[in-house]
Amino acid sequence: MSHAGEVLITDFRPVAVPTDELQFLSYQLGEHQGHMLRLNPNRHTPAVLPSPVSGWHEIHIGFMGASGLQLRLSGEPCFRWVESLVQWDRKDEQGEETFWQVADLSARHFEFLPQMLERRYDQRQAQIAYLRLVPIDPNRSKEQLEQRRTTRTAGAVIDSHKMFGTYAPKSLDEIRGLLVPFVDSDFWLHFTCVFPPLLDSIRT
């Protein structure tokens, strides 16, 4: 659904010149077409895209095919892990959109890193097809955040098992990236399963 004043970022070529670590692939996904960003799994330097808008916005992420990457806004303390749903029969040309967060995008940058795909049991690419930025009244955005803090009723279990689970964080920053999305959500209780060797890697 489109909203008045929304901005679509469907062409990620302004991020940088293509290299072995960055690819820009043309795509057609429903009514959206452009050049998606794909990152080499071994890339350690964030790809950066300045926000084209100012003020408070809802940020929606568009994926094409099985996708996953790390994303943050400039000034945030850690990257968040974002990805498409696990669907074993997904085709490469199929896509989906997911809500990410509400934020003030004034003088901000989007920063992208690949997800640790070698730890995934299901196969996917470190890529993003588009960003959809929907303007929102500042007062409404604050009301949304406050309401979520007072109406939390849900619980979550994060499976960090190395072989069959979705995630396998290996550092405190990666653990933060998994937990931060729950801060302004309806989740109030979390259980995280940790594979024993992970504890040793974090301690060292």
Label each residue of the chain as H, E or C.
Answer: CCCCCCEEECECHHHCCCCCCEEEEEEEECCEEEEEEEECCCCCCCEEEECCCCCEEEEEEEEECCEEEEEEECCCCCCEEEECCCCCCCCCCCEEEEEEEEEECCCCEEEEEECCHHHCCCCCECEECEEEEEECCHHHHHHHHHHHHHCCCEEEEEECCCCCCCCCCCCHHHHHHHHHHHCCCCEEEEEEECCHHHHHHHHC
Confidence band for 191, pLDDT divided at 50, 70 and 90: low
Phi-psi region of 65 (alpha: psi -120 to 50; beta: other; left: phi over 0): left
8 A C-beta contact, residue 33 and residue 27: yes
Instruction: Tell me the per-residue pLDDT of 93-149, one tens digit each, with 9 for 90 and over.
Output: 778 898 998 999 999 999 999 987 665 566 788 999 999 999 998 776 556 555 555
Using pLDDT thresholds of 50, 70 and 90, give the confidence band for residue 84.
Answer: confident
Q: Of residues 86 and 61, which shows the higher confidence score?
A: 61
Q: How many CB atoms neighbour CB 89 within 10 A? A: 5
Which percentage of the chain shows pLDDT scores above 90? 33
pLDDT of residue 194: 57
Q: Check residue 59 and give its pLDDT.
A: 95
The string of pLDDT tens digits covering residues 18-39 is 677 899 999 988 888 899 999 9
Higher-pLDDT residue of 182, 56 = 56
- Which residues have C-beta within 8 Å of that of residue 138, sequence separation ≥ 6? 55, 56, 104
Q: How far apart are CA 185 and CA 14, in angstroms?
A: 32
Distances (CA, A) of 110 to 42, 53, 74, 94, 122: 19, 12, 6, 24, 26
The arrangement of secondary structure in 1-138, i.e. its CATH architecture, is: Sandwich (2.60)
Residues whose CB falls within 8 Å of the CB of residue 141, separated by 6 or more in sequence, listed in order: 56, 102
Predicted pLDDT of residue 162: 46
Alpha carbons 116 and 198: distance in angstroms, whole number: 14
| Residue of higher predicted confidence among 36 and 158 | 36
Q: Where are the domains of the chain?
A: 1-138, 147-204
